[in-house]
Amino acid sequence: MIKRVLLAVLAFSAVAASAKVTLPGIFSDHAVLAKKAKVPVFGKAEPGEKVTVVFNGQKKMALADRNGKWRVDLDLSNSPEGPFELKINDIVIKDVIVGEVWLCSGQSNMAWVLQRSEGFEEAKKNPVGSRLRSFVFSLKSNATPSDALDGKWVYADAANVGSFSGVGYFFGKKLLSELNTPVGLIRNAWGGAPIEAWMTTAATGVVPAVAERDAHTSKDLKAYPAKRKQYLLDHAAWAKKNKRLDTVHQLPPADAKWKSTRQIAYSNSITWFKKSIVSKENGRLTFAMQRQATPFTVWVDGKKVYEWSLENAVLNKYPRFVINGISAGKHEVMFRIYYPLNNSRRSFNLQMSIGGVNLDGQAWDVYQEVVFKNKVSKAPQPVGATPREFFNSQRLFNGCIYPMLPYALDGVIWYQGETNVGRYKEYAALQRALIADWRKHFEDPELPFYWCSLAAYRAKNANANAEESIAYLRGAQTETLDVPGTGQAILTDAGDAKDIHPRNKLIPGERLAAIALAKVYGKQIPYLGPSVEKIVREGGKLRIHFKDTYGGLVAAPVPEFYYLVKRNNDTAPLVRNSPGTQLEGFAVCGKENKWYWADEAVIDGNTVVVSSSKVAEPVRVRFGWQNNPTVNLYNKAGFPGVPFMSK
């Protein structure tokens, strides 16, 4: 008995001792530390506790302050890459290497994983290996700053490379190949997140409207539960009155008439979608879907395994669920969708992955169980998704940036802006504020910050006078280049008209890498597209002088089609706006401020001469100033021209 008690006491003492020092998850096995003169290592302990950090011959000590926080700074500027052990008191972190560390942040196009991007199969077949690593962040939104940081470091091997940010992977792979030094990528991006969520309220104060929106969102959030409850009651009463209640859930009859289609649409019906898949996962099926505001049930091999209720549907969330007890191999998956409303056409979002199989754009078999044909009274108006208080200013800074401060970085790559398109007038001020805010908190006043100018998106527009918000957001991004240590990758040639998430992440990744290689690592390589240096009036023409031409300007061939959804090979004919001249995408206007497509836009050395027969005295010119511009101006290094509009 005494022996058992003694063992228990010793065990408890060991746990208590090891629990005194805690570390953010970013300090864990396989971590990458920056090859810099000041590399903070930090965590928490009992107030006053002595903490000793040992790494490759360096030994540093600190005392935890009254809040339990401690920190030491390592000098790794001359360190070999390792791997080494990082020892903090009795904690041993294994396989830590020294190299280049970059934060990959923004919204969904940065969060978009390699597994769902072009090039994944090749990356898995020929993995880069352990010298390219990613910390996969466990994202959190917090009302107050949080020290909690969960996640893990993984190699770019066949098993884990799919979890890398697609943009980050191609960025890091390019750095690794050019620098021959390890690269660590921190994937810390949140789909749909506005820029203001990523910075402190002190920083967003440059735009007073942000605080007003925050207050409005918080007010709506408090009123939301009562509104949602009332909607569900009203919807049930409406469905009963109009004889559009859901029927008993049972499998389609054996003689059901199924039709194969890629047009996943329905209305006024109960509709089934069916597909056979071969699951790569053993013991479970994982379903990952895009946002879905329609009730549905899931059936696997003839059994109902999941229900997305109306209560869930009105929240307009992303269904993510796992079905256990199902072996790897071939399975029949069916979705049953109940949609009693009168909308003429509704798309069921089947952009998804099931059991490790990407089903984007594939055909499904469709059967309509019920078609509601009776006329009905107007249905209750849905209350929509929960107000996004978690996207208020500072919420993601508190949950996703604060916990990793002040981890040493070599730079930031940023792909964000889609959510802020409707507020493009604020964007330049907010992006400048974000850069300053992060440089302050990461204790690096010159922290490199490079971003993706938004990719081409939405329908082509033949109207030269169209005032399109994505174009203005790109313009705001370009304005921010006045901040030292910044750069942008132009993506007007790397988008899909109907897919805000283009699967080609190689182009943005490698263009960002070119900027970093040139500006951070001193490589003498091209990294910019041609941009305006000055504009000179020559009678009825404008001569635009370009810089960053790298040997000259080039008119690329204009294709006969453009992509609507590239992953489906879905295209549309491309109609030129200026078919009689060399370059597309230029428009001019006179004093009346009415724009006309240029019928002359030709390269002359490092300049472009532009005119329109409809504008006798042009005073302004713009290029690529549309949501989805048709443009073909490049420099000889292969970088596309920077969209602009003269003042």
pLDDT digits (tens, 9 = 90+) for 59-82: 999 999 999 999 999 999 999 999
Strand partners, 586: 623
- What's residue 562's pLDDT? 96
- What's residue 4's pLDDT? 44
- What's residue 356's pLDDT? 63
- What's residue 1's pLDDT? 43
Instruction: Say whether the peptide bond before residue 406 is cis (omega within 30 degrees of 0).
Output: yes
Q: How far apart are CA 114 and CA 501, in angstroms?
A: 12
- What's residue 10's pLDDT? 38
- What's residue 388's pLDDT? 83
Checking 159-162 for CB contacts under 8 A at 24+ apart, the result is 160/134, 161/114, 161/120, 161/123, 161/124, 161/127, 161/128, 162/113, 162/114, 162/115, 162/120, 162/123, 162/124
Closest CA to 464 of 566, 359, 548, 578: 578
Contact partners, residue 545, CB within 8 Å, separation at least 6: 532, 533, 534, 535, 536, 606, 607
Which two three-digit tokens encode residue 105?
Answer: 């942040």
pLDDT digits (tens, 9 = 90+) for 9-18: 433 333 344 4
pLDDT digits (tens, 9 = 90+) for 493-507: 999 999 999 999 999
Q: What are the residue ranges in the chain where pLDDT is below 70?
A: 1-19, 263-266, 281, 288, 290-292, 316-318, 342-358, 360-361
- What's residue 348's pLDDT? 62
- What's residue 9's pLDDT? 41
What CATH superfamily classification does 243-371 receive?
Galactose-binding domain-like (2.60.120.260)
Instruction: Say whether the peptide bond before residue 319 is cis (omega within 30 degrees of 0).
Output: no
| Burial of 577 (C-beta count, 10 Å sphere; 0-12/13-18/19+) | buried
Q: H-helix or E-strand containing 272?
A: strand 269-279
- What's residue 418's pLDDT? 97
* Contact call for residues 498 and 564 (beta carbons, < 8 A): yes
- What's residue 195's pLDDT? 98
Q: What's the first-to-final CA gap in the chain, in angstroms?
A: 87
Residues in the chain, overall count: 647
pLDDT digits (tens, 9 = 90+) for 224-277: 999 989 989 998 999 999 988 888 889 999 999 999 887 666 678 899 999 888
Phi, psi at residue 572, to the nearest 5°?
A: -140, 150
Q: What is the DSSP letter of 628?
A: S
- What's residue 329's pLDDT? 83
- What's residue 344's pLDDT? 53
- What's residue 345's pLDDT? 56
pTM of the model: 0.85
- What's residue 326's pLDDT? 78
Other Cβ atoms within 10 Å of 475 Cβ, number: 19
Domain range annotation of the chain: 25-200+394-527, 243-371, 531-645
CATH number of 25-200+394-527: 3.40.50.1110
